[in-house]
Chains A and B, each alone.
Chain A
Amino acid sequence: EVHLVESGGDLVQPGGSLKLSCVASGFSFSTYWMTWVRQAPGKGLEWVANINPDGRQTDYVNSVRGRFTVSRDNAKNSVYLQMNSLRVEDTALYYCVRDVLFGRFDSWGQGTLVTVSS
């Protein structure tokens, strides 16, 4: 069974940094694209970033490009999201998601909460 477990969410001040982690199990991690999706409180879903299986290709939504960096360690079955220059509007529940192909998100973690506030 596929499991995705996020961690690292916290309360941080505007301008601060945070690194989210997601540990995967139950599948061949190194063969899948991985994605981060976020959901602000009471709002809809927003795709944030993705990374290809070997880690050489990454994509970002415009609002985080240049501030967030997605990476992975296939030896540790883990994907990360380094978030810098955090803004109040980055406050959200961040989900780690497995992408089968072109956005077919078939497995989701439970999410980790990031709150950006002074």
Chain B
Amino acid sequence: DVVLTQSPLSLSVTPGQPASISCKSSESLLHTDGKTYLHWYLQRPGQPPQLLMYELSSRFSGVSDRFSGSGSGTDFTLQISRVEAEDVGVYYCMQGLHLKTFGQGTKVEIK
């Protein structure tokens, strides 16, 4: 089974400062079609998760351009250029190439 390991597991950020979350996969998530099936989700308190980024670096509809995704193969990063109060919640990476697996989640809070 594919394992996704996120770090850090929690993050406290000053508004306006950048933040970065790492996600490492036990197997490559690069498909033969050239796409990398690694996605990012945000779960705000009391809400269902919502899609942020898909296929490594594509922003979902309505997602702020403060969010960006990068990486390749087995190492991935979600970056927030300037954290805002509305970014509070738990961020999950998820792979969709080998069945489906979520990372453990990274809790982001505002200082």
Contact = CB atoms under 8 A, between A and B. Distances in A.
B109 interface: no
A59 interface: yes
Interface in A81-118: 95, 99-106, 108-111
With a 10 A CB-CB cut-off, give which of A45, A46, A106 has the most chain B CB atoms. Answer: A45
Given A44-B102, A108-B48, A102 B96 contact: yes
A61 B31 CA distance: 21
B100 A103 contact: yes
Interface size class of A (residues with CB under 8 A): 20 to 34
A45 B102 contact: yes
A62 B1 CA distance: 9
Contact of A50 (B31, B97, B100): B100
A95 B48 CA distance: 8
B102 A104 contact: no
20 contacts: A44-B103, A44-B105, A45-B41, A45-B105, A46-B102, A47-B102, A61-B99, A62-B1, A95-B48, A99-B96, A101-B96, A102-B31, A102-B35, A102-B97, A103-B96, A105-B49, A105-B94, A108-B48, A109-B48, A110-B48
